[in-house]
Chain A
Amino acid sequence: MRNLFLYTFLGLAVSVGAYVSFELFGPKAPLPKYAQAGIGGDFSLTSVEGEINLSDYKGEIVLVYFGFMSCPDVCPTSMGVMATAIRQLSEEQQQKVRGLFISVDPQRDTPEELHAYTQYFSNRIFGATSSKEQIDAIVKQYGGYYAFVEMEDSALGYTVDHSARLYLIDPDGHLADILAHDINPVELHEKLAAYL
């Protein structure tokens, strides 16, 4: 009888030990390389819904894009690519994908205007902005670039030079991929589908 207790105890101890060591030292899903390098991460912005955080969208794939509404060409093209790729997903899948257009030009672009601008392309693309300081921090955090450039002879007054990339955030909130602005909708659709 004493032996039975002893064996039961030993058996349990071995099982618990194996479980604990597997949890501590066993294989885990590795962090994407960008997250490992400290690129990406959470941020706060202002949208028509008030303050939003990237972490609010855990469980969704978020496509982050830095742009501005006075951008005639690349920004609407990128939004078109995003919208086309999203449209190819099933209705259920679309609800798990969110485009996020971050305006680096809060002086000209209001959250209301950004909302109307992004929803024009897709009801799964949303707009937001913030203070210059906050935007600077987020752009840096994501390894992006933008700069205001004076245009003396232009009615625009100034324009914005910017890196035009799509940042793919996985459902855990980690930066998983950085894509070229002119990625083909088919390729983007394949990237999205891989997480759904």
Chain B
Amino acid sequence: MKFLFPALLMSASLTQAADLTINDAMARAVPPTAKISAAFMTLINNANTDLAVVSAESSVAEAVELHNNTMTDGKMKMRQVNQIDLPAKQTTELKPGGLHVMLIGLNKALVEGETIDLTLNFSDGSSEALEIPIQPIEPMMQKKHEHKH
């Protein structure tokens, strides 16, 4: 049973995007002098029609943009994208090393345990206002491909 995100309960009173589930939303805790951070989440479009995230807003950053990271030939490249497509009946992951919501020009330190507001605007004109936790992304002391049977 997945932990139901409180923001989703709260968002019932807000403009609701059609048939969309957002799980594991978080903003990355960053060092005090960092001017930027990123937000990650899993978006599930349960509808029969395609949707897209076209923009985002937050009170903690001067600008909020949609970005994508790619690793080609050992070179890490980050580029802004116009929208993040959420194809019908599919799960789209915003995660480290890939698509993310970029928080630029932070006006407060993103401290672990606190939350930030984040509003996602969708291609159908709807919006989703979230209150997401600030968490560190700590690599685990686990070996890759280690499965216990």
Contacts and interface: CB of A to CB of B under 8 A. Distances in A.
B25 interface: no
B74 A186 contact: no
A120 interface: yes
Contacts, number: 108
Contacts of B58: none
A67 to B, nearest CB: 9
Contact of A72 (B67, B136, B144): B67
Interface string B91-119: 00000110010101100000000000000
A116 B31 contact: yes
Contacts of B142: 184, 186
Nearest to A182: B97
Interface residues of A, number: 41
Interface in B1-56: 28, 30-38
Chief secondary structure at chain A's binding surface: mixed
A117 B33 contact: yes
B100 A72 contact: yes
B105 A155 contact: yes
Interface of B: 28, 30-38, 62-63, 65, 67, 69, 71, 74-80, 96-97, 100, 102, 104-105, 136-144
